[in-house]
Amino acid sequence: MKAVILESYGPIEERPLQLRDVPRPVPGRGQVLLKVGACGVCRSNLHMVEGDWPGVPSKFPIIPGHEVVGRIEELGDGVDWLPVGARAGVQPLFSTCGHCEFCLSGRDHLCQTKEITGETVDGGFAEYMVADARHTHLVPDSISDVAAASLFCPGITAFGSVAKANLTPSKTAAVFGVGGVGHLVLQMALLHGGSVTAVTRGAAHQTVAAELGATRVIDASREDPGEVLAKQGGVDAAFVFGPSNELVRQAIQATKPGGIIVTGVNVDLGRFAFATERMVVGSLLGTRQQMREVIDLAAAGKIHVVHEQQPLEAANETLARLKRGEIRARAVLVP
């Protein structure tokens, strides 16, 4: 099969990803073989390729890609609940131990021995990949492969983040960073019925936010959103999906006393005032049940991924464009 291979770290401008012919994988016990229809491109792919995260990936060579939709081609031993020929998706959470306190309480994504698609095991930048059947989700035919692929990373990440904020129709929210994940956070926050402000710098992202129905769009390159929102009474919840400490500072300032700031990126909080009783919460993916709800929302037409489609061989170029901020929301590779 054709697959995109990473053999060592390198700046994306030097094209470290190579398209190669490699053996097609064989599903083991409890696994399925997927014929990949589409695989989303994530900024974490870029961090991995360029060596920003020590220890990631856990092996070389590796096939990146962790938001995958395809068709089940073959079942491994012990898999009797997924039909051959069905369309299915796989998220970054490839597998978990199944017996730790996190797995037993339905918080599989916090399992400390989990396998990560495209980081500890081969992922979806390929024509085929194996997946753990327990973490494989059926996809209805009403959603195309390219439209569904990114539901399996930004979709579930957005859902898990918004769920933590306990939004209601009377609560206000702001989304800081309207990119691959942020544009889905915006849509899911709007489903709760309250006012949702989008904060972003790029004109393309501002257009996306407006098209998706943001109550208000603030251009962070022209005014300080923290000051603007604070002067207007602040918001009940702020979501941070831009990798910027300044953005986090603005989000905290924009949040009412007693409000919540949910972040899906690494941040340096700096000095944090305890007396306002604001709460800062990290958010990683979500539960398997929440993944089903994300698929249902997309199937019902209540959310959609703003995406562009690129061929598998354009992996280096696509990640380079992501690095330069040229991807409007999400890019998807198609073998």
CA-based end-to-end distance of the chain: 10
User: Which CATH entry fits the domain spanning 2-153+285-334: 3.90.1570.10, 3.40.640.10, 3.90.180.10, 3.30.70.100?
Assistant: 3.90.180.10
- Residue 62: phi and psi, rounded to 5, are -145, 150
Domain with CATH 3.40.50.720 in the chain: 156-282
Output 269 or 149, whichever has higher pLDDT. 149
104 token code pair: 């037993």
Q: Which fold has domain 156-282?
A: Rossmann fold (3.40.50)
pLDDT digits (tens, 9 = 90+) for 34-88: 999 999 999 999 999 999 988 999 999 999 999 999 999 999 999 999 999 999 9
Q: Is the pLDDT of residue 263 over 90?
A: yes
Q: Which residues of 218-240 are buried (b: 16+ CB within 10 A; e: fewer)?
A: bebeeeebbebbbeeebbbbbbb
Sign of the CA dihedral 140, 144, 145, 151? negative
* pLDDT for residue 272 is more than 90: no
Q: List pLDDT tens digits, range 12-25.
A: 999 999 999 999 99
Q: What SS3 class is residue 3?
A: strand
pLDDT value at residue 44: 92
Per-residue model confidence as pLDDT tens digits over 119-139: 999 999 999 999 999 999 999
| CATH 3.90.180.10 domain position(s) in the chain | 2-153+285-334
pLDDT of 97 over the 90 cut: yes
User: How would residue 170 be classed by pLDDT, with cut points 50, 70 and 90?
Assistant: very high
Asked if the model's pLDDT at residue 325 lies above 90, the reply is no
